[in-house]
């Protein structure tokens, strides 16, 4: 299939307009809160498209959107941590994708809702820890994130909670999570490709969604005011919670 034909087919995807709106909102929240893109998009997108498509459609925006930020992240990040997280992810990710391939779409929707709500509850509670993780623990966190990422597309909770709630400097937290998620997208692409579930139409839909996602990120960054960072976080928590609740399969 030629590229024009692939885009024509992708433009005919049912619910594409809703997907563009959802990912625009997700990008806006990510722009002003620094997180939340997948936590908003994947639960709501799962109402309109198959679970595997939800994850594949996020790949282009998540990967290409972070490329301009990588040079600074490489300077600020801890190069001892990220390889260990990636090693664990390489183990957990194929297991998560295998579980996704053999699960029911309703289970997927319950899982992404539960992960989103758990993440919001722990972040909003202000829970903190003082632990500095050992090498095996970092690999374990990476494996947990990899499994969740492969199964639901939401890899963030283990690694974000480990860093955001821990005794780490904000610049180090931002850099490590950014580097981790960039590597995750590469590993996710490879795993989906090797397991034969990298749907071409879903990937093309993802390329289309890059535009509204990027615009949303820019809008969120533009309206962000550091003096109101706490307010923006709680707005993000509210939108993520609403997305998870709306996506629950109890509504059909």
Retrieve residue 43's tokens: 């639960």
Retrieve residue 1's tokens: 């299939």
> Quick one: which of 70, 77, 50, 95 has its CA closest to 195?
95
User: What's the confidence (pLDDT) of residue 148?
Assistant: 93
N-terminal to C-terminal alpha carbon distance within the chain: 34
Retrieve residue 9's tokens: 């087919």
Query: pLDDT digits over 148-186, tens only?
Result: 999 998 888 888 888 878 887 777 777 788 788 888 889
> Quick one: which of 160, 140, 142 has its CA closest to 37?
160
Say how far apart CA 34 and CA 37 lie, in whole Å. Answer: 9
CB atoms under 10 Å from CB of 7, counted, come to 15
Say how far apart CA 167 and CA 147 lie, in whole Å. Answer: 25
Query: pLDDT digits over 68-120, tens only?
Result: 777 877 887 777 888 899 999 999 999 999 999 988 888 899 989 998 898 88
Retrieve residue 142's tokens: 């990476």
Residue 50 three-state SS: coil
Q: Supply the pTM of this predicted model.
A: 0.85
- Domain borders along the chain are 3-251
């Amino acid at each position: 299939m030629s590229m024009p034909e692939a885009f024509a087919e992708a433009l005919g995807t049912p619910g594409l307009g809703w997907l563009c709106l959802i990912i625009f909102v997700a990008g806006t929240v990510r722009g002003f809160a620094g997180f939340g893109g997948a936590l908003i998009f994947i639960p709501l997108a799962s109402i309109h498209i198959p679970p595997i498509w939800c994850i594949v459609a996020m790949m282009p925006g998540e990967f290409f959107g972070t490329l301009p930020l990588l040079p600074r992240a490489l300077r600020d990040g801890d190069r001892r941590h990220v390889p260990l997280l990636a090693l664990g992810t390489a183990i957990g990710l194929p297991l998560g994708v295998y579980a996704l391939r053999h699960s029911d779409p309703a289970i997927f929707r319950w899982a992404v809702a539960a992960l989103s709500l758990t993440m919001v509850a722990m972040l909003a509670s202000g829970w903190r820890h003082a632990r500095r993780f050992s090498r095996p623990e970092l690999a374990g966190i990476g494996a947990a994130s990899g499994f969740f990422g492969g199964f639901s597309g939401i890899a963030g909770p283990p690694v974000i909670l480990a860093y955001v709630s821990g005794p780490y400097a904000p610049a180090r937290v931002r850099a490590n999570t950014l580097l981790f998620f960039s590597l995750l997208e590469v590993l996710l692409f490879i795993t989906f490709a090797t397991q034969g579930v990298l749907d071409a139409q879903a990937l093309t839909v993802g390329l289309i969604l890059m535009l509204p996602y990027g615009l949303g990120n820019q809008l969120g960054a533009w309206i962000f005011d550091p003096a109101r960072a706490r307010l923006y976080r709680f707005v993000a928590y509210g939108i993520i919670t609403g997305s998870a609740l709306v996506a629950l399969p109890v509504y059909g």
